[in-house]
Structure 1
Amino acid sequence: MNARRRSANRKGFPDNLYCKVDGYFWYRNPQSNKTKGLGRDRAEAFREARLANAALLEMGRSSLVDWVTGKPQVSFGEWLKQYEPLWIKRESPAQSTIRIGQIYLADFSRCDFAWMPVDKITAQQISTYLESLEGVRGAATMINMRSRLSDVFRTAETKGLIEAGKNPVSVTYSPEYNPTRDRMTLENFLLIREKAVPWLKNAMDLALVTGQRRDDIANMLFSDARDGFLYVAQRKGGGRTKLKIDTNVHLTAFAMSIDDVIKQCRDNILSKYMVHHVRHRGINKPGDPTSPQGISDAFRAARGFANVLPGEGKTPVTFHEIRSLAERLYKEQYGADFAQAIMGHKEAKTTAIYDDLRGTAYQEVSVK
């Protein structure tokens, strides 16, 4: 293919440098097709364009060592396509996690350095990209995207695409995130609980004494409680975190044990679910499980009836905040290690709190 003929008015111009009729110079990145203005200083524009072209040439050239060793040259955009199935196979994430991850990966594929070889991307480029995310999407989303981006490069390390220990994300700034949601107090919990329908009371009580998430509460079966233990395979993370919680664990501040709450969930309705409908409602009939969204909706209604209002600058408490309350109460009663263990947190220490069975079985959580 013949190179495009250079117009007479661009004679002597560096490649990829252009000038508007008003004398304003601009540069086009041939890899990303993005443009950048360079002002009207001809000498400075020429210098900048030549430096940029040299950098492009250097980034696009495979070294002799890479050729001899057979090291692959893969662009960041190409690597993202390879990374996605590897990540899903390795972690077996929940569908909601997959959807969010795919949104993040699609965003990464549109960044300025998507065309570059993975091993040529610098921490400065990553930092600039992440700072732009914080400005547009906020600190919370930026933190999540930074975490995913870090795993993208960490996986590239395992495949030999970048040198071990050279993850460009690891040295970048991660902002502090100050959530605006109001904190659940035991007092507010009891006020909302007083206005809750019976099945919501059961859901709230289970969440408080077990410390588990809304989705796990909604899917908890009576058969999960056996031989003095409650077995929970946390749905977040695809069930990889498995807990075997002693049902004799007693939350003093609430004056109930896990076994007490499980017994409370049993009523005259035949159901295999601990939290279930007790009357016909729409397409649901007595005994059917309540959905996670149904729990949230009922909690919101009870919160309104209880007139529990958020503090200034805060958003109202949600059902999920019961988990945070449980962690604080158990930490106060039994210590941080126990609180982390019953939550299923990875940082929980393998002391007398629970027995780590290498992820193939359930981790026992009890007071010893």
Structure 2
Amino acid sequence: MGRQRLAKNRALPPNLYVNSAGYYYYRDAGKKTQKGLGKDRAKAIQAARQANAAVAVREPSSLVDWVLGKSDYTLAEWLPIYRELWEEKTQPAANTLQGAKSLLKRVAAADFAKMRMRQIETAHVATFLEAFAKSSGAGTARNMRSKLTDIFRWAETQGVIEVGKNPVSATFNPNYRVARERLSLEQFWAIHALANTWAKNAMMLALVTGQRRDDIASMRFADFKDGYLHVAQGKSGGETKLQIDGAIKLSKVGLSIGEVVAGCRDLIVSRYLVHHTERVSTTKPGDKVRAAGLSEAFAKARDRAEIGSSSDRTPPSFHEIRSLSERLYREEFGADFAQAILGHKSAQMTAKYDDLRGGWKTVKAK
């Protein structure tokens, strides 16, 4: 990233600068040269804008080509245009954007990225996905297939490839097998017994609310009002908003959501349900516990409880509490209720948690 411009230069066009004597000069970053433009501000700005236009012609970009009507691209040339279009339409959350950047970087480095979009066939994509699955795992390969599908779908809408000629559509979704051991209720209680105070609170919140780790870490006491816990799920960028009835109670747990929230209160002043209870390094009592801290505390208690996994799986993580919560709610209240409290938009997504390995949506107690 380039150095931030000085305050006196920020109102000027790119590449135009002024020195302490009020003299303007233009810097050509490509040629690493500069030219004086005198002390007349208006003339200097006009000259700089003309120079910038010339530089744009000298160094055309894929996006400029697209704006000018170009439609024949290599995959590598199309990716930055796709990203601009996708970001503008979806306004992705930070984590989603970071994941997309990583996938696009891998696509850009692929051999078939040098090919013209219209020449890429299903066999090219299938070969890439097969190798990707071997190197990165089937789960990540499924994400890659989804991203490639969207890349070519956007190309269809913009006339870059013919409609109905998406080469990804006919590929198989990489087989996905959960590598992480599922968490049982008995194991949950064993880990809970050996966890520290705030980790116990986090575990109980995750179990009775069914929410993700990052959302648990961000919950505030102010989010519980009028008998409801309000959760704007971070993974959706806050678009999925749940208003969860505090009276909801799992019989196998013996506590309602409202009771678990109340149990997070102590003598320490904090805005967060899950907060540090003693000074540790740079943190002080009342500070928010990082999401990664929840995973670390859970893993330490799990190891103390000597809960491992089978030879071909990894031990259960904090995230598995969400799966356990879904299974308990499904068993007691049914699939529709489990889907609602997890905040899933589809039953298919909820089903992934069930295998044994804008406005507020209200979830009321039954």
| TM-score bin (small chain) | 0.7 to 0.9
- The one-letter code sitting in structure 1 at the alignment partner of 2:88 is K
Supply the distance in 1 between the matched residues of 2:272 and 2:341 (Cα, whole angstroms): 21
Supply the distance in 2 between the matched residues of 1:119 and 1:228 (Cα, whole angstroms): 57
Supply the distance in 1 between the matched residues of 2:309 and 2:115 (Cα, whole angstroms): 48
SS of the equivalent of 2:229 reads strand
Match of 1:185 in 2: 184
Matches within 5 A, 1:282-301: 282-301=281-300
Q: 1:192-241: per-residue Cα shift (whole Å, max 9, x none)?
A: 00111111110000000000011100010111111121111111132221
Match of 1:149 in 2: 148
Does structure 1 conserve the Cα–Cα contact (< 8 Å) formed by 2:181 and 2:315? yes
2:360 matches 1:362: yes
Does structure 1 conserve the Cα–Cα contact (< 8 Å) formed by 2:277 and 2:285? yes
Supply the distance in 1 between the matched residues of 2:332 and 2:155 (Cα, whole angstroms): 44
Structure index of larger Rg: 1
* C-alpha displacement of 1:246: 1.2
**Structure with a larger share of its residues in helix:** 2
Match of 1:42 in 2: none
Does structure 2 conserve the Cα–Cα contact (< 8 Å) formed by 1:93 and 1:236? no
Supply the distance in 1 between the matched residues of 2:231 and 2:270 (Cα, whole angstroms): 18
Supply the distance in 1 between the matched residues of 2:183 and 2:193 (Cα, whole angstroms): 15
Gaps of 5+ in 1: 1-69, 350-359
Does structure 2 conserve the Cα–Cα contact (< 8 Å) formed by 1:211 and 1:323? yes
Match of 1:221 in 2: 220
Supply the distance in 2 between the matched residues of 1:124 and 1:173 (Cα, whole angstroms): 11
Match of 2:271 in 1: 272
SS of the equivalent of 1:113 reads helix
Match of 1:103 in 2: 102
Does structure 2 conserve the Cα–Cα contact (< 8 Å) formed by 1:338 and 1:348? no
Matches within 5 A, 1:65-84: 72-84=71-83
* C-alpha displacement of 1:166: 2.7
Q: 1:4-60: per-residue Cα shift (whole Å, max 9, x none)?
A: xxxxxxxxxxxxxxxxxxxxxxxxxxxxxxxxxxxxxxxxxxxxxxxxxxxxxxxxx
Supply the distance in 2 between the matched residues of 1:309 and 1:266 (Cα, whole angstroms): 32
- In the superposition, the TM-score normalised over structure 2's length comes to 0.75
Supply the distance in 1 between the matched residues of 2:134 and 2:198 (Cα, whole angstroms): 43
Supply the distance in 2 between the matched residues of 1:207 and 1:218 (Cα, whole angstroms): 10
2:340 matches 1:341: yes
Does structure 1 conserve the Cα–Cα contact (< 8 Å) formed by 2:249 and 2:365? no
Match of 1:120 in 2: 119
Q: How many residues align?
A: 289
Over 3 Å counting, the alpha-carbon distance change for 1:310 and 1:115 in structure 2 is closer
SS of the equivalent of 1:164 reads coil
* C-alpha displacement of 1:315: 1.1
2:150 matches 1:160: no
Gaps of 5+ in 2: 1-68, 349-357
SS of the equivalent of 1:287 reads coil
* C-alpha displacement of 1:348: 4.7
Q: 1:107-166: per-residue Cα shift (whole Å, max 9, x none)?
A: 212223323332332112211221121233222221111111111112222323233333
Match of 2:138 in 1: 139
Match of 2:280 in 1: 281
Percent of residue pairs identical:
48
- The one-letter code sitting in structure 1 at the alignment partner of 2:232 is A
Match of 2:193 in 1: 194
Supply the distance in 2 between the matched residues of 1:201 and 1:135 (Cα, whole angstroms): 38
Does structure 1 conserve the Cα–Cα contact (< 8 Å) formed by 2:95 and 2:235? no
Does structure 2 conserve the Cα–Cα contact (< 8 Å) formed by 1:206 and 1:262? yes
* C-alpha displacement of 1:90: 2.6
Over 3 Å counting, the alpha-carbon distance change for 1:209 and 1:118 in structure 2 is same
Supply the distance in 2 between the matched residues of 1:363 and 1:263 (Cα, whole angstroms): 23
Supply the distance in 1 between the matched residues of 2:315 and 2:103 (Cα, whole angstroms): 28
Q: 1:157-194: per-residue Cα shift (whole Å, max 9, x none)?
A: 23232333332111101122112211100000000001
Q: 1:60-84: per-residue Cα shift (whole Å, max 9, x none)?
A: xxxxxxxxxx782222211101111
- The one-letter code sitting in structure 1 at the alignment partner of 2:240 is T
* C-alpha displacement of 1:322: 0.2
Match of 2:320 in 1: 321
